[in-house]
């Protein structure tokens, strides 16, 4: 008869291995869990947005700053909470190509005169 062998050394995989207690960002390693750190960073950016909107009058520079802060927050959410950092780069391209096209379209439409061409 044929001999049946059993693998007695099975590895137990911890489902929380990818959620380690430290992470690296811009070359520094932090001992705080990733999601806690990102959550705190999102909160700090939100407080900065609210403070800026209450202190300064609305101007094109303020709107640009607020858009940059909002894009930063959206990027953090997509990168960490939606796990884009661990997915295939094709998903990043599927996200960024339409965003770039929209930004180019808005920039193009912003140079068109309000009254149209005459």
Each residue's pLDDT tens digit, 18-77: 555 666 667 777 677 888 889 999 999 999 999 999 999 988 889 899 999 999 999 999
Query: Which pLDDT score, from 0 to 100, does residue 51 have?
Result: 96
Q: Using CA atoms, how far apart are residues 66 and 73, in angstroms rounded to an integer? A: 11
Name the residue among 78, 77, 49 with its Cα closest to residue 65. 49
Contact 82, 92 (CB under 8 A): no
Question: For residue 4, what is the DSSP state?
Answer: P
Contact 30, 40 (CB under 8 A): no
Quick one: tokens of 40?
A: 């705190």
């Amino acid at each position: 008869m044929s001999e049946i062998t059993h693998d007695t050394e099975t590895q137990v995989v911890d489902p929380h291995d990818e959620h380690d207690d430290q992470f690296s960002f811009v070359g520094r390693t932090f001992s705080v869990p990733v999601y806690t750190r990102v959550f705190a960073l999102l909160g700090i950016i939100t407080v900065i947005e609210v403070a800026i909107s209450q202190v300064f009058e609305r101007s094109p520079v303020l709107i640009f700053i607020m858009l940059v802060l909002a894009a930063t927050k959206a990027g953090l959410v997509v990168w960490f909470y939606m796990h884009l950092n661990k997915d295939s780069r094709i998903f990043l391209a599927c996200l960024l190509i339409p965003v770039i096209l929209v930004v180019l379209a808005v920039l193009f439409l912003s140079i068109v005169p309000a009254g149209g061409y005459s």
